[in-house]
């Protein structure tokens, strides 16, 4: 456990170029905001990658050196190359951690790993959100109290089309009357996956210390533990087989 956890912070980085409001909110890009915070942690080694880099910055060699990948995408899900998605999925199944943020619920990689549509109700009405902490003993909520309050976030509401989470960490209350399973854990293959709802591009949620603390905790929780690509293997019986007499 002496080695640092190698984190790659991925962002489609489109809104930041086209919307002045987003650029002002996240002058370093959403990836920059997350990476800046993570890089302050002594146990993390952080790099970023974005959509417009070759292979979206997610080459084989980058992924081989990545223990945990965080993912933020929204309007450009369709521009992510299927080959890169397959490569990321393969790595998650082999043991790499994956943290999917906010609108990443519709990303190709999240849908490929879940097998479901990831669809939900949504509304942009500057609603107050409260994320209730259901698992105060879980590593993902270390340092977090009974509830995180955000003055405004995009509303995401049920039904969220996901497989039943292995562990439900946060459930959110929205001012407008909705609820949402806003922090969900799964394991797929040997990899750990955490979906976390906050992070709309026009709100400062990804500057919020509690939200960044949860993401940091999730990175530590999801750190790669082994790296095994599962394949079908033919094996011989370990015990003597009685003769077949059909």
Span 117-156, contacts to a second copy by CB under 8 A: 117, 119-123, 125-128, 130, 132-139, 146, 151-152, 155
Sorted by sequence, the CB contacts under 8 Å of residue 220 that are 6+ apart come out as: 5, 43, 139
Query: How many residues bind a second copy, per CB under 8 A?
Result: 74
Question: Is residue 43 involved in binding a second copy (CB under 8 A)?
Answer: no
Interface with a second copy (CB under 8 A), residue from 23, 47, 188, 213: 188
CA–CA gap between residue 83 and residue 60 (Å, rounded) = 11
> In the complex, what is the shortest distance from the CB of residue 239 to a second copy, in angstroms, rounded to a whole number?
5
Q: Tell me the two tokens of residue 80.
A: 């992510």
Find out whether 134 and 104 touch, Cβ atoms under 8 Å: no
Find out whether 158 and 105 touch, Cβ atoms under 8 Å: no
Distance from C-alpha of 133 to C-alpha of 111, rounded to nearest angstrom: 25
**194 upstream amide cis, omega within 30 of 0:** no
Query: Using the rule CB under 8 A, is 207 a contact of a second copy?
Result: no
Among 74, 102, 108, 181, contact with a second copy (rule: CB under 8 A): 181
Least distance between a second copy and beta carbon 9 (Å): 23
In the complex with a second copy, the residue whose CB is nearer, 14 or 171, is 171
- Choosing from 10, 26, 186, 194, the residue that interacts with a second copy (CB under 8 A) is 186
Nearer to a second copy, 47 or 130 (CB): 130
With CB under 8 A as the contact rule, the residue among 59, 179, 207, 213 that binds a second copy is 179
Nearer to a second copy, 76 or 168 (CB): 168
Task: Report yes or no: 71 and 42 within 8 Å, Cβ to Cβ.
Answer: no
- DSSP per-residue string spanning 107-142: SHHHHHHH-S----EEEEEEEEEEEEES-TTSGGGT
CA distance 73 to 80: 10
Q: Among 15-23, 35-43, 160-168, 206-214, which window interacts with a second copy (CB under 8 A)? A: 160-168
Q: Of 53-112, which residues contact a second copy (CB under 8 A)? A: 89, 93, 95, 106, 112
């Amino acid at each position: 456990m002496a080695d640092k956890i190698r984190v790659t912070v991925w962002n489609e980085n489109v809104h930041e170029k086209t919307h002045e409001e987003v650029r002002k909110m996240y002058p370093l890009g959403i990836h920059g905001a997350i990476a800046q915070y993570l890089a302050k942690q002594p146990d993390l080694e952080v790099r970023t990658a974005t959509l417009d880099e070759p292979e979206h910055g997610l080459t084989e060699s980058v992924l081989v050196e990545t223990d945990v990948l965080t993912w933020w995408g929204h309007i450009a899900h369709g521009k992510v190359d299927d080959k890169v998605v397959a490569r990321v999925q393969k790595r998650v199944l082999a043991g790499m951690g994956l943290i999917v943020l906010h609108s990443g619920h519709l990303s190709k990689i999240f849908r490929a790993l879940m097998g479901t549509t990831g669809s939900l109700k949504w509304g942009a009405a500057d609603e107050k959100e409260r994320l209730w902490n259901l698992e105060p003993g879980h590593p993902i909520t270390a340092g977090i109290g009974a509830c995180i309050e955000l003055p405004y976030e995009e509303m995401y509401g049920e039904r969220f089309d996901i497989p039943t989470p292995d562990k439900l960490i946060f459930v959110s209350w929205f001012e407008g009357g909705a609820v949402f399973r806003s922090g969900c854990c799964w394991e797929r293959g040997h990899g750990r996956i955490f979906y976390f709802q906050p992070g709309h591009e026009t709100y400062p949620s990804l500057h919020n210390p509690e939200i960044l603390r949860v993401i940091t905790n999730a990175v530590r929780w999801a750190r790669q533990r082994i790296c095994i690509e599962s394949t079908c293997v033919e094996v011989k019986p370990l015990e003597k087989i009685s003769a077949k007499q059909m």
